[in-house]
């Protein structure tokens, strides 16, 4: 409620009274008073063994952790160990520390993402392209997530996604040759090198998938596949269940080598029925990472008219999945959250 989540600043948000120290009888004079925090088994900043803290210090630390450009929702998870694991990750003094080299990599990936959209907008002004404007940080976030997942022993990732941003993901993440993408824009209905292979017409470029063995920054090789999807955007979600088949045929009994990643729009995610397959013994894939790219208009609908809950992700609370809301203008926060999601998925084998 207090985190700075909206890049456009259009939301009128009422900060709850619960977050005002005055509600509990504290005044300005109490800020430098010291309070005994206790020695029970806790995590996060309470586990730093500083038994006595000033109220000002406590408030500052909690504001740093929870009121920045990431909003964490995990108190609905009825598992102390999982909540404590998250607290240890969130309430550290320096949760995000990226050196110059890491920042240059993030910037480079962001530039590829941005220039791709700019080129399409300039070259094919009238073409429908379902651009990633406003969500271009998805590309560096996904690439970092895949690099980190590979370091955590993942060997294959199956992805499914709607139209928006698909060409950018195909070109920059899954490495579909750009000349092939541009050829489809120019009216080409067949790949350049394969004479006689007919692949349909119209908006087919938004429905095609591809697969690629991608080298990661950590020196590993990661097999990526983006599955093809029909015009009904969410029909692709159960298809990514092919992750389960991959786990079966690669004897991946503990479900650590094959991972599913689903990208959603904020409008469609509120109606996710396939979520409830995620923990069923015959369907589980050991956790799926869901990335919801919210451009705040869904396809054509204002969020206030599209759902009854505050966030489209509220349906995920039924699964005890942690939810990370991140301001897409803060590039390092996006990358940090993507890393955290991959680590959660590999640690607890449940959705995030």
* pLDDT for 66: 93
* pLDDT for 329: 93
- Please state, in angstroms and rounded to a whole number, the distance separating the CA atoms of residues 62 and 187: 54
> Predicted confidence band at 271 (pLDDT cuts at 50, 70, 90)?
low
Q: Left, alpha or beta for 287 (phi > 0: left; psi -120 to 50: alpha)?
A: left
CB atoms within 10 A of CB 271: 13
Instruction: Determine which helix (DSSP H) or strand (DSSP E) holds 101, and give its type and residue range.
Output: helix 100-123
Both structure tokens of 35 = 């309070």
Average pLDDT for the chain: 88
**pLDDT tens column, 285-323:** 999 999 999 877 766 777 777 788 888 899 899 889 999
Query: What's the CATH superfamily of 100-190+200-348?
Result: Thiamin diphosphate (ThDP)-binding fold, Pyr/PP domains (3.40.50.970)
**pLDDT tens column, 186-230:** 776 555 555 555 555 556 677 888 999 999 998 999 999 999 887
- All residues at 6 or more sequence positions from 64 whose CB lies less than 8 Å from its CB, including other chains: none
Question: Taking Cα atoms as reference points, which of 223, 194, 220, 191 lies closest to residue 208?
Answer: 191
**pLDDT tens column, 10-21:** 777 788 899 999
Helix axis angle for 100-123 and 178-185, nearest 10°, is 20
* pLDDT for 199: 52
Residues of the chain with CATH 3.40.50.970: 100-190+200-348
DSSP single-letter state for residue 19: G
Residues in the chain, total: 352
Q: What is the mean pLDDT of residues 77-97?
A: 89
* pLDDT for 39: 67
pLDDT above 90 coverage of the chain, percent:
56
- All residues at 6 or more sequence positions from 80 whose CB lies less than 8 Å from its CB, including other chains: none
- Please state, in angstroms and rounded to a whole number, the distance separating the CA atoms of residues 98 and 96: 6
Higher pLDDT, 170 or 268: 170
Phi, psi dihedrals of residue 319, rounded to the nearest 5°: -95, 0
**pLDDT tens column, 23-61:** 999 999 999 999 988 767 778 887 777 788 899 999 999
Both structure tokens of 124 = 């094919």
Question: Taking Cα atoms as reference points, which of 47, 10, 78, 25 lies closest to residue 317?
Answer: 78
* pLDDT for 289: 96
DSSP of 218-238: TS-EEEEEE----SSGGGGTG
* pLDDT for 209: 87
Strand partners, 289: 261
Q: Left, alpha or beta for 49 (phi > 0: left; psi -120 to 50: alpha)?
A: left
273 has pLDDT over 90: no
């Amino acid at each position: 409620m207090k985190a700075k989540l909206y890049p456009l600043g259009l939301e009128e948000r009422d900060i709850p009274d619960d977050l005002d120290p005055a509600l509990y009888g504290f005044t300005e004079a109490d800020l430098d008073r010291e309070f005994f925090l206790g020695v029970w088994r806790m995590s996060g900043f309470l586990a730093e063994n500083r038994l006595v803290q000033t109220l000002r210090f406590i408030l500052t630390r909690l504001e740093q952790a929870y009121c920045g450009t990431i909003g964490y929702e995990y108190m609905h998870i009825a598992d102390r160990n999982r909540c404590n694991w998250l607290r240890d990750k969130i309430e550290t003094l320096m949760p995000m520390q990226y050196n110059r080299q890491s920042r240059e990599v993030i910037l480079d990936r962001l530039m590829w993402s941005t220039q791709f959209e700019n080129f399409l907008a300039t070259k094919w002004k009238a073409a429908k392209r379902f651009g990633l404007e406003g969500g271009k940080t998805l590309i560096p976030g996904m690439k970092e997530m895949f690099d980190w997942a590979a370091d955590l022993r993942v060997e294959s990732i199956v992805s499914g996604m709607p139209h928006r941003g698909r060409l950018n993901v195909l070109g920059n993440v899954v490495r579909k040759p750009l000349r092939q993408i541009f050829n489809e824009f120019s009216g080409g209905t067949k790949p350049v090198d394969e004479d006689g292979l007919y692949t349909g017409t119209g908006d087919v470029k938004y429905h095609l998938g591809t697969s690629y063995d991608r080298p990661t920054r950590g020196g590993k090789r990661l097999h990526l596949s983006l599955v093809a999807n029909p015009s009904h955007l969410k029909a692709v979600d159960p298809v990514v269940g092919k992750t389960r088949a991959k786990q079966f045929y690669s004897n991946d009994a503990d479900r650590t080598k094959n991972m599913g990643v689903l990208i959603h729009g904020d409008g469609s995610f509120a109606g996710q029925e396939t979520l409830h397959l995620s923990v069923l013994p015959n369907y589980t894939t050991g956790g799926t990472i869901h990335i919801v790219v919210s451009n705040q208009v869904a396809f054509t609908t204002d969020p206030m008219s599209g759902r009854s809950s505050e966030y489209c992700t509220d349906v995920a609370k039924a699964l005890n999945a942690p939810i990370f809301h991140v301001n897409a203008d803060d590039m390092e926060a996006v990358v940090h959250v993507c890393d955290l999601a991959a680590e959660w998925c590999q640690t607890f084998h449940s959705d995030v």
